[in-house]
């Protein structure tokens, strides 16, 4: 190898491509390219530093990455110093380019370009950009260094510093997609702060890159379902920019559709991606979740079986098997496969949430809580783990802790309607019926109108219960009727509607609906008891005396009526569909 440092960088790049990570670092060290000095680093030295950091990261030496990069990168809180470093690198790069162009006059080979590293990666490496030479064509190398530093801190579970460096990377270069993807996939930023960041990035992108800002907004729609309504421009930009068939764009649309409760659209888009790229893991999770939501056992079995055959070492493949067993109501087997997924990829939060749901389905609250807390550590900016913990506390009747976690989830994402349904359940069980009514109405107002189908029928029922408790019988019946339009054969809704007619004094209608409920569910003790009371009232006593003597009003508190109040932990989200 010659003494030219560019040859050392090129050789190290080849070593990295072949998976010889530590050898790549050694090549750069021997050339003296990793030695920090008080003078600004040259563009080539910055590239070498990033190449070495990438190699160390792939060799699972995140502590060494931090130790090396701390010598040249300012603290993540000092954004001004990071911008100055990037500017100095660009200025030095421009000066070096002019010098090379001048010297090319006497060179028979013309200008030798510095090696571009951004497209070089080992086949087994995590999908990442290695950063290019600073300039118009590549991601700013300082932004790439900040991204690598953020990834290293994330692995070391210092998520505060990881977030700081990833945000700094985007401040230096809004085109640093990997930094944004990491912030989103790892749930490092609360939704409000994330939206503010994306808005700022959109304002700084050049007009020809407006599509990238729309892509960021589309990806963030998984945290803000309301954003989906504002993304028509993203669709237009994607088509005009030639990105309409890009699998990452389609996958982002699938995720956005899923979290906006458009399960059918999410499945269609996810299947489209899976056809083009069967190993697109993020979209595979959306597809598994959509099939689970639709209770499509056959397709779940086929897809999970196929992925296990093709990628047995992929944690996502085993998540699919776990989803299949949740769909077939065999949570004991689901536990086994979600556990396998967490062993293969301990940082896959969706596997931990599925693991928790499998435990919850078997009333194993302690284990479910442990799994949800593991997910919370992996997704510090996501509201989903806190939401599930709150739902589990509702199930175990620990209302104070449930309220605490649900309030925390609302702080992280005030736009998820399921949170308000669960807080409404807590208020209802505390006897705060007016507050419960407000939360249920808020949940329904946040849900997309086209999504108000079977998925949100329990919230309509819950609202009906809260209204009934306040003796707003006509409003309660209207909500029960809306729920019945979605689930016409739901015995519990028919019984609730019958009971409300009974309380309102329409005994004949109540009797008719009690019969309908019992025809579907003959073992419903509450409906049987109330039907007997209603029949007794019509035969032996005037209505008012019958209600008084049979104590119908108090029976609402003492009988099985209370059990009709549906917690989302049992009826809103089936078996972890929210988590995928």
- CATH number, domain at 32? 1.25.40.10
Q: How far apart are CA 243 and CA 210, in angstroms?
A: 12
Greater confidence (380 vs 271) lies with 271
pLDDT at 149: 96
Answer with the one of 184, 202, 219 that is the final residue of a domain: 184
pLDDT at 239: 54
Q: How far apart are CA 567 and CA 572, in angstroms?
A: 7
Answer with the one of 124, 153, 184 that is the final residue of a domain: 184
User: Which residues lie below 8 Å from residue 348, measured CB to CB, with a gap of 6+?
Assistant: 315, 316, 319, 341, 342, 378
Per the structure, the count of domains in the chain is: 2
For residue 89, give its domain range: 1-104+113-184
Tokens at 331, concatenated: 């949570």
Greater confidence (300 vs 106) lies with 300
pLDDT in tens, 297-319: 999 999 999 999 999 999 999 99
In a domain, 477, yes or no: yes
pLDDT in tens, 468-477: 999 999 999 9
pLDDT at 421: 96
Kindly indicate the confidence band of residue 45, based on its pLDDT and cuts at 50, 70 and 90.
confident
pLDDT at 114: 34
pLDDT in tens, 393-449: 999 999 999 999 999 999 988 888 999 999 999 999 999 999 999 999 999 998 876
In a domain, 518, yes or no: yes
pLDDT at 42: 79
pLDDT at 59: 93
Across 498-526, average pLDDT: 94
pLDDT at 18: 87
Mean per-residue pLDDT over the chain, rounded: 82
In a domain, 325, yes or no: no
Q: How far apart are CA 105 and CA 112, in angstroms?
A: 12
In a domain, 206, yes or no: no
Kindly indicate the confidence band of residue 576, based on its pLDDT and cuts at 50, 70 and 90.
very low
Is the four-CA dihedral 440, 443, 445, 448 of positive or negative sign? negative
Answer with the one of 169, 184, 199 that is the final residue of a domain: 184
pLDDT at 120: 36
Angle at which helix 433-446 crosses helix 417-429, to 10 degrees, equals: 170
Cβ atoms of 466 and 428 within 8 Å: the answer is: yes
pLDDT at 558: 36
Kindly indicate the confidence band of residue 119, based on its pLDDT and cuts at 50, 70 and 90.
very low
Kindly indicate the confidence band of residue 292, based on its pLDDT and cuts at 50, 70 and 90.
very high
Tell me, yes or no, if the pTM score tops 0.85.
no
In a domain, 456, yes or no: yes
∠ at Cα 293 (292, 296), nearest 5°?
A: 50
Q: How far apart are CA 319 and CA 302, in angstroms?
A: 14
Kindly state the helix (H) or strand (E) to which residue 500 belongs, with its residue range: helix 491-504
Q: String of b and e for 111-135 (b: at least 16 CB within 10 Å)?
A: eeebbbbbebbbeebeebbbbbbbb
In a domain, 534, yes or no: yes
In a domain, 469, yes or no: yes
In a domain, 46, yes or no: yes
Kindly indicate the confidence band of residue 330, based on its pLDDT and cuts at 50, 70 and 90.
very high
């Amino acid at each position: 190898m010659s003494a030219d440092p560019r040859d050392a960088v090129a050789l190290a790049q080849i070593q990295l491509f072949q998976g010889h990570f530590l050898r790549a670092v050694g090549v750069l060290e021997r050339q003296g390219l990793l030695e920090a000095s008080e003078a600004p680093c040259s563009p080539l030295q910055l590239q070498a530093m990033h190449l070495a950091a990438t190699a160390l990261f792939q060799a699972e030496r995140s502590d060494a990455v931090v130790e090396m990069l701390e010598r040249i990168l300012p603290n993540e809180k000092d954004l001004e110093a990071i911008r100055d470093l990037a500017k100095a690198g660009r200025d030095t790069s421009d000066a070096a380019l002019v010098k090379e162009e001048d010297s090319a006059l006497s060179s028979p080979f013309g200008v030798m370009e510095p090696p571009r590293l951004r497209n070089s990666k080992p086949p087994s490496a995590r999908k990442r950009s290695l950063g290019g030479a600073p300039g118009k064509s590549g991601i700013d190398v300082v932004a790439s260094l900040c991204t690598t530093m953020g990834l290293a801190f994330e692995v070391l579970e210092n998520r505060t510093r990881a977030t700081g460096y990833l945000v700094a990377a985007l401040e230096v270069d809004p085109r640093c997609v990997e930094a944004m993807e990491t912030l989103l996939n790892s749930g490092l930023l609360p939704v409000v702060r994330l939206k503010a960041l994306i808005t700022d990035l959109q304002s700084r992108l050049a007009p020809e890159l407006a599509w990238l800002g729309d892509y960021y907004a589309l990806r963030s729609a998984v945290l803000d379902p309301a954003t989906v309504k504002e993304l028509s421009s993203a669709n237009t930009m994607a088509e005009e920019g030639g990105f309409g068939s890009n699998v990452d764009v389609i996958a982002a649309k699938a995720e956005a559709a899923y979290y906006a409760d458009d399960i059918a659209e999410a499945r269609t888009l996810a299947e489209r991606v899976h056809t083009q790229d069967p190993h697109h893991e993020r979209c595979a999770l959306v597809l598994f979740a959509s099939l689970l939501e639709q209770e499509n056992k056959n397709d779940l079995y086929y897809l999970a079986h196929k992925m296990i055959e093709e990628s047995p070492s992929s944690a996502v493949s085993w998540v699919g098997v776990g989803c299949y067993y949740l769909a077939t109501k065999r949570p004991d087997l689901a536990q086994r496969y979600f556990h396998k997924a967490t062993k293969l990829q301990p940082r896959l939060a969706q596997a931990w949430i599925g693991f928790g749901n499998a435990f919850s389905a078997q009333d194993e609250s302690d284990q479910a809580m442990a799994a949800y807390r593991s997910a919370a550590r992996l997704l510090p900016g996501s509201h989903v783990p806190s939401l599930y913990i709150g739902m589990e506390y509702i199930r175990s009747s620990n209302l104070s802790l449930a309220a605490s976690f649900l309030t925390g989830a609302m702080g992280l994402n005030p736009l998820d309607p399921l949170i308000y349904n669960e807080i409404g359940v807590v208020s209802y069980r505390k006897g705060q019926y007016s507050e419960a009514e407000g939360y249920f109405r808020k949940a329904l107002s946040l849900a997309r109108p086209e999504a108000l189908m079977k998925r949100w029928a329990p919230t309509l029922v819950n609202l009906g219960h809260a209204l009934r408790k306040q003796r707003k019988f006509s409003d309660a019946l209207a909500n029960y009727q809306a729920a019945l339009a979605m689930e016409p054969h739901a015995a519990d809704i028919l019984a609730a509607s019958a009971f409300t007619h009974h309380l309102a004094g329409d005994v004949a209608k109540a009797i008719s609906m009690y019969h309908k409920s019992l025809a579907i569910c003959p073992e419903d003790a509450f409906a049987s008891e109330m039907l007997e009371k209603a029949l007794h009232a019509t035969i032996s006593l005037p209505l008012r005396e019958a209600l008084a003597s049979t104590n119908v009003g108090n029976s609402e508190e003492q009988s099985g009526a209370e059990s009709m109040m549906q917690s989302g932990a049992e009826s809103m989200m089936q078996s972890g569909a929210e988590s995928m």
